[in-house]
Amino acid sequence: MNRLLQVLVISAMLVFGLASLASAANVPDPVIGTWKLNLEKSKYPEGAAPKSESRTYAVTATGITLAVTGVAADGSAISQSATLTYDGKDIAWTGSTMFDAVSLKKVNGTTVKAELKKDGKVVGHSTRTISDKGMVLTLSSAIKTAKGGTTHEIAVYDKQ
């Protein structure tokens, strides 16, 4: 009887553990949704801050689509897009003059590191983090400029 009780307890623990793993695997990516740039909390080089910007992330069969829209510092329209995967492979990025591809790797459930590329060469790095409560997205980026320097920016977005 004692052996039967041990087997039942171990079996129950295994079933509970596997169920927990399965449900954790189905946890949605916290980036999914629409995020609006908070200019007061963001830090851009002098004259480089966009007038407005929003990022919309949505799940698709091939990855996570990202659409970036807004108004740039010079008043021109911002329209960028990509289909994101976190496998470290290059992904086409449209609409940016500074880079044309990214490669992404998840660090954990709330942090993603990116290499920004132009014509196959790394021109910058970015880290995307989402706050513990999932309401603030922060992009910290360093990108090489056309003049050979590096521009640093921290863009803070609020979930809508």
Amino acid 51: pLDDT = 98
Closest CA to 12 of 4, 1, 22: 4
Alpha helices, DSSP H, located in the chain:
2-25
Q: How many domains does the chain have?
A: 1
Contact 137, 154 (CB under 8 A): no
Amino acid 1: pLDDT = 52
Does the residue 135 lie in any domain?
yes
Contact 52, 72 (CB under 8 A): no
**pLDDT string in tens for the chain (160-residue length):** 555 545 544 654 445 444 443 334 566 899 999 999 999 999 999 999 999 999 999 999 999 999 999 999 999 999 999 999 999 999 999 999 999 999 999 999 999 999 999 999 999 999 999 997 999 999 999 999 888 899 999 999 999 9
Does the residue 139 lie in any domain?
yes
- Residue 15, helix vs strand vs coil: helix
pTM of the model: 0.82
Does the residue 146 lie in any domain?
yes
Distances from the Cα of 24 to the Cα of 16, 27, 44, 107, 134, angstroms: 12, 5, 36, 16, 16
Phi-psi category of 49—alpha, beta or left, where left has phi over 0 and alpha has psi -120 to 50?
Answer: beta
Tell whether the torsion through CA atoms of 108, 59, 139 and 39 is positive or negative.
negative
Does the residue 10 lie in any domain?
no
Amino acid 28: pLDDT = 84
Q: Using the 8-state DSSP alphabet, how is residue 146 labeled? A: T
Does the residue 84 lie in any domain?
yes
The whole-angstrom separation of Cα 113 and Cα 132 is: 17
**Domain coverage including residue 76:** 29-159
- The CATH number given to whatever domain includes residue 43 is 2.40.128.20
Q: How many CB atoms are located within 10 Å of the residue 49 CB? A: 17
Amino acid 148: pLDDT = 86
Amino acid 33: pLDDT = 98
Amino acid 132: pLDDT = 75
